[in-house]
């Protein structure tokens, strides 16, 4: 099949976070299965006007992003070149997989698919939920409900997300629960770092709770003065608070925020830590936690994280409250016990292999796409397998 994935924004430092990582892994897996798959969307931060031809293992076709109202975040990002390209090539796609948000990149593409009756699948990543905000309600009335109603399938991470999507749509929808997935990890964890380290890797957004990590580091430093506490990720509103906290309590240089990290460097960054911490609120299915478990690192996450039941079932980490004392206690337990860290790391790798492999995700996507396209004949040929769709510039 000729499959196009659409994501809002792709950038060198991964500001858009998990949805792009998910899309890249899915496109990569689809190509391994012989499909002609490509990822498209807007881009910023690359030197070339057209961006790269490949990003994080997936072939891409990108278009320059513009944001006339950056104070509204990603919602007002637009990519006029993408719409023109999509219209020229709309007959070349068997199915379009849209990583949907209330923004002016993915939502118009979904609307075009509905208008031209192109089979499309939506994946919302927890981003389409009922909202009291006026802009969200306007978008819902104008476009979101229409594209939800016309989708062949809507992929969600948790049952509660399906309920939220249907609340926005105002009716039942063809929802399918599909987890995020990763390639099968090695049979043994990456070697433990010589120097103990605790890592927070996420956008510095209030929902990610970077200040909870900083507070835990403050509490732990007296008992673990040799441990490095590092935050990695772009500023999404909490950067000033984190910077100020580090300046007022430097912890002898053991607490640092080192800015964003390129997606291709995520695995290396995680492999250098002893414990991975993500104290975020209501996190649906964080890719960074999956990647930490795939590396064989114990994770510390909050009770309301979508991965909490699996982490507890497999013993892949500690599930706690994100408040300073309980979070600090969980990290303290792991720093004191190297054997426990090793056991949890191996358990996390087993969890990925048995529950969250990208192969299992690929099996589900194959079924969804085939059902969505129906009996129509895919436009690719045997010699095209694994290639991106042949599209006009």
Q: What are 286-295's pLDDT values in tens digits?
A: 999 999 999 9
Q: Are 167 and 126 in contact (CB under 8 A)?
A: no
pLDDT tens track for 150-200: 999 999 999 999 999 999 999 999 999 999 999 988 777 778 888 899 999
Fold assignment, 197-354: Rossmann fold (3.40.50)
Of 145, 81, 46, 156, residue with least CA distance to 393: 81
> Which residues make up the CATH 3.40.50.2000 domain(s) of the chain?
2-181+357-384, 197-354
Band of residue 81 on the pLDDT scale cut at 50, 70, 90: very high
pLDDT of residue 199: 98
Is a pLDDT exceeding 50 seen at residue 335?
yes
pLDDT of residue 27: 98
* Dist. CA 136–CA 145, nearest whole Å: 11
Other Cβ atoms less than 10 A from the Cβ of 64: the count is 17
Is a pLDDT exceeding 70 seen at residue 392?
no
DSSP state of 131: -
Helix (H) or strand (E) holding 98: strand 95-99
Band of residue 122 on the pLDDT scale cut at 50, 70, 90: very high
Of 7, 58, 8, residue with least CA distance to 29: 58
Of 180, 209, 195, 157, residue with least CA distance to 323: 209
* Helices 210-221, 324-335: inter-axial angle, 10-degree rounding: 60
**Model pTM score:** 0.88
Fold assignment, 2-181+357-384: Rossmann fold (3.40.50)
* Dist. CA 166–CA 151, nearest whole Å: 13
Q: Are 228 and 196 in contact (CB under 8 A)?
A: yes
Is a pLDDT exceeding 60 seen at residue 390?
no
* Residue written as token pair 């970077």: 210
Size (the chain), residues: 393
pLDDT tens track for 186-225: 777 778 888 899 999 999 999 999 999 999 999 999 999 9
**Residue 248: CA count within 13 A, CB half-sphere:** 9
As a whole-number percent, the residues of the chain with pLDDT over 70 amount to 94
Is a pLDDT exceeding 80 seen at residue 102?
yes
pLDDT of residue 69: 83
Tokens representing residue 54 in the block: 């490949």
pLDDT tens track for 7-24: 999 998 887 888 999 999
Q: Collapsing DSSP states into helix, strand and coil, what is residue 154? A: strand
* Dist. CA 327–CA 320, nearest whole Å: 6
Q: Are 93 and 118 in contact (CB under 8 A)?
A: yes
Contacts of 308 (CB under 8 A, 6+ apart): 301, 302, 319
Q: Are 195 and 228 in contact (CB under 8 A)?
A: yes
* Dist. CA 388–CA 342, nearest whole Å: 40
Contacts of 100 (CB under 8 A, 6+ apart): 106, 107, 110, 122, 123, 124, 127, 128, 147
Q: Are 154 and 161 in contact (CB under 8 A)?
A: no
pLDDT tens track for 40-63: 999 998 888 788 999 999 999 999
Reading phi first (left if > 0) and then psi (alpha if -120 to 50, else beta), residue 154 is in: beta
3-state helix, strand, coil split of the chain in percent (to 5) is 45, 20, 35
Q: Once rounded to an integer, what is the mean pLDDT over residues 302-306?
A: 93
Q: Once rounded to an integer, what is the mean pLDDT over residues 315-338?
A: 90
pLDDT tens track for 365-384: 999 999 877 634 444 433 45
Tokens representing residue 199 in the block: 């890592």
pLDDT of residue 251: 84
pLDDT of residue 272: 94
**In degrees rounded to 5, what are phi and psi of residue 259?**
75, -170
């Amino acid at each position: 099949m000729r499959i196009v994935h659409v994501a809002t924004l792709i950038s060198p430092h991964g500001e858009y976070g998990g949805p792009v990582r998910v899309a890249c892994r899915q496109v990569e897996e689809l190509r391994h299965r012989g499909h002609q798959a490509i990822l498209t969307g807007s881009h910023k931060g690359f030197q070339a006007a057209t961006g790269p031809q490949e990003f994080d293992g997936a072939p891409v076709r990108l278009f320059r992003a513009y944001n006339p109202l950056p104070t509204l975040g990603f919602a007002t990002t637009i990519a006029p070149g993408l719409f023109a390209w999509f219209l020229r090539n709309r007959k070349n796609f068997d199915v379009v997989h849209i990583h949907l948000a209330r923004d002016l990149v993915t939502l118009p593409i979904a609307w075009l698919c509905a208008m031209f009756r192109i089979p499309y699948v939506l994946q919302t990543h927890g981003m389409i939920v009922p909202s009291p905000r006026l802009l969200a309600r306007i978008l819902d009335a104008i476009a979101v409900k229409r594209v939800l109603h016309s989708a062949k399938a809507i992929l969600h991470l948790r049952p509660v997300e399906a309920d939220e999507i249907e609340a926005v749509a105002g009716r039942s929808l063809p929802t399918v629960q599909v987890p995020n997935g990763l390639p099968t990890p090695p049979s043994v964890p990456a070697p433990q770092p010589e120097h103990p380290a605790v890592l927070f890797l996420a956008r510095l957004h209030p929902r990610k709770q970077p200040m909870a990590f900083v507070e835990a580091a403050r509490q732990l430093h007296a008992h673990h003065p040799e441990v490095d506490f590092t935050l990695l990720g772009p500023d999404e509103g909490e950067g000033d608070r984190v910077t100020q906290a580090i300046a007022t309590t430097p912890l002898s240089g053991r607490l640092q925020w080192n800015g964003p990290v390129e997606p291709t460097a995520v695995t290396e960054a995680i492999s250098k830590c002893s414990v991975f911490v993500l104290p975020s609120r209501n996190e649906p299915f964080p890719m960074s936690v999956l990647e930490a478990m795939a590396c064989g690192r114990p994770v510390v996450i909050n009770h309301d994280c979508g991965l909490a039941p699996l982490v507890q079932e497999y013993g892949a980490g500690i599930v706690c409250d994100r408040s300073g004392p309980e979070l600090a206690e969980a990290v303290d337990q792991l720093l004191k016990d190297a054997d426990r860290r090793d056991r949890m790391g191996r358990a996390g790798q087993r969890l990925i292999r048995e529950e969250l492999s990208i192969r299992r995700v690929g099996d589900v996507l194959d079924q969804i796409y085939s059902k969505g396209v129906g009996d129509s004949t895919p436009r690719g040929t045997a010699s095209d397998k694994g290639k991106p769709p042949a599209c006009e510039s």
